């Protein structure tokens, strides 16, 4: 009886807090750029060859090279690299609760860049950034961060605003829903449901273009907030990149990846368009990371336990 009552109170207050959160998010969404063409035709595209089958080539970036330009000089003069990361994407960029340090697959990549540019993988300042702020922070002057390694998918819309490195991971959209919902498909998992997606994430963009029958959409600052909202009964399902969807399922055994993956895309390192020297440099680091076994080692450390064989995720 007492448990049930506490549960009800929890749910009620969660709703209240959620409303407050959504209110703030709505204001943010107002400033979000318009979404590209409707998602319906894109859903039909499932083949790997069709990755980035939009009006642009999401797999293309500047050729790799170590050229010291204005940006590299600026970073070397400063003495450390500032990287925008996540602290709550399990195994990608997250805070170890024992040591308090941020670690994960994306962090390994950030350190590899710092090691290449500055000769020391520890000369890196990790700044957590909200999903919604990623593009804005790269465009701001003065730029508060040099680059973003934060499970960021390459989209045509973003390519108009910022630059990306060559792809370093292949992902698609996945639905996370409670196992108890027994959803057999994406349409079943999202239809008539309260769907959660991180504000201004690619999943949020997809939901705006094609709601998949969702009754409502909540957009907290961070994809992991969606898991909190689902656990507190404030959302029924979450749409996310497969990378982060796997991270959510790994943290809550009552959740599952529901339905089929769709909308395959690449993940890349986000940078300012003008920092051509840094973009080329990062592409050089990525090439070495791939050929030198660094990518594989990081995958084995962080992602293999949850995602299995890396085959489907390699962008090359």
Partner 1 sequence: MAAQTPQGGVLAPPPGRAPEPAATLPAALPSGRFSGPLGRLRTAARTPPGRLRTAGAVLVALVLLFGTVAAWQSADRAAAARRLASRSEPLSQDAAELYRSLADADATAAAGFLMASAEPPELRKRYQDDLETAARLIPQAAARSGASTEAQRRLADLSRQLPRYAGLVETARAINREGLPLGGAYLRYASDFMQQTVLPNAQRLADTEAAALDGDYDAAAAVPWAALALGASALAALGRYQVVLFRRTNRVFNPGLLAASAAVLAALVWTAGGTVAAGTGLHQARTQGIDPLRALNRVRVEAMQAHTAEILNLVSRGATEAYDGRWDALAKSLTAPAGGPGSVAGLSAAAPGRAGAQLADARQWFEEWQRRHADAAKLDEAGDYEGTLRKTLAPGRDDTAEAAFNAAGQRWERAGQAEQTAFEAAAGGVDGGLTVQAVAAALLAALAVGGTARGIGRRLAEYR
* 161 contributes a contact to partner 1 by CB under 8 A: no
Residue 126 found at the interface with partner 1 (CB under 8 A) = yes
Contacts of 219 (CB under 8 A, 6+ apart): 22, 25, 29, 196, 197, 198, 199, 200, 204
Burial 207-240 (b: 16+ CB within 10 A, else e): bbbbebebeebbbbbbbbbbbbbbebebbbbbbb
254 binds partner 1 (CB under 8 A): no
Given the rule CB under 8 A, which of 121-129, 196-204, 265-273, 305-313 is the region that contacts partner 1?
121-129
Residue number, 191 or 233, with CB nearest to partner 1:
233
The region of 2-10, 170-178, 196-204, 210-218 touching partner 1 under the rule CB under 8 A is 2-10
Total chain residues near partner 1 (CB under 8 A):
38
Alpha-carbon gap, residue 253 to 224, rounded angstroms: 15
Backbone angles phi, psi at 239, to 5 degrees: -105, 130
Tell me the DSSP string of 206-252. HHHH--TT-SEEE--SSHHHHHHHHHTTS-SEEEEEHHHHHHHHHH-
Interface with partner 1 (CB under 8 A), residue from 57, 96, 160, 300:
96
26 near partner 1 (CB under 8 A): no
Please pick, from the candidates 62, 75, 129, 154, the single residue that binds partner 1 as defined by CB under 8 A.
Answer: 129
Residues in contact with partner 1 by the rule CB under 8 A: 6, 9-10, 13, 16-17, 20-21, 80, 82, 87-90, 94-100, 102, 125-130, 133, 144, 222, 224-225, 227-228, 232, 251-252
């Amino acid at each position: 009886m007492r448990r049930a009552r506490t549960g009800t109170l929890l749910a009620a207050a969660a709703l209240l807090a959620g409303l407050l959160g959504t209110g703030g998010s709505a204001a943010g969404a107002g400033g979000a750029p318009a979404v590209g063409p409707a998602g319906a035709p894109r859903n039909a595209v499932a083949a790997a060859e069709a990755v980035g089958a939009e009006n642009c080539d999401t797999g293309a970036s500047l050729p790799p090279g170590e050229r010291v330009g204005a940006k590299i000089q600026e970073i070397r003069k400063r003495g450390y690299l500032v990287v925008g990361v996540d602290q709550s994407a399990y195994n990608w960029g997250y805070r170890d609760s024992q040591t308090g340090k941020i670690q994960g697959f994306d962090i390994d990549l950030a350190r590899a860049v710092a090691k290449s540019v500055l000769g020391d993988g520890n000369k890196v300042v990790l700044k957590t950034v909200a999903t919604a702020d990623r593009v804005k922070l790269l465009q701001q002057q003065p730029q508060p961060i040099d680059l973003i390694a934060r499970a960021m998918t390459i989209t045509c819309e973003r390519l108009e605003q910022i630059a990306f490195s060559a792809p370093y991971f292949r992902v698609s959209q996945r639905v996370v829903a409670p196992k108890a919902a027994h959803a057999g498909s994406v349409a079943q998992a999202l239809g008539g449901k309260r769907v959660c997606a991180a504000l201004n994430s690619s999943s949020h963009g997809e939901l705006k273009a094609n709601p998949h029958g969702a009754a409502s959409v909540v957009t907290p600052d961070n994809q992991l907030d969606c898991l909190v909202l689902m656990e507190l009964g404030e959302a029924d399902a979450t749409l996310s990149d497969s990378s982060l969807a796997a991270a959510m399922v790994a943290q809550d055994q009552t959740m599952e990846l529901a339905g089929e993956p769709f909308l395959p895309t690449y993940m890349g390192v986000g940078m300012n368009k003008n920092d051509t020297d840094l973009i080329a440099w990062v592409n050089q680091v990525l090439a070495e990371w791939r050929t030198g076994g660094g990518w594989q080692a990081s995958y084995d450390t962080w992602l293999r336990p949850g995602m299995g064989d890396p085959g489907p995720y390699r962008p090359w």
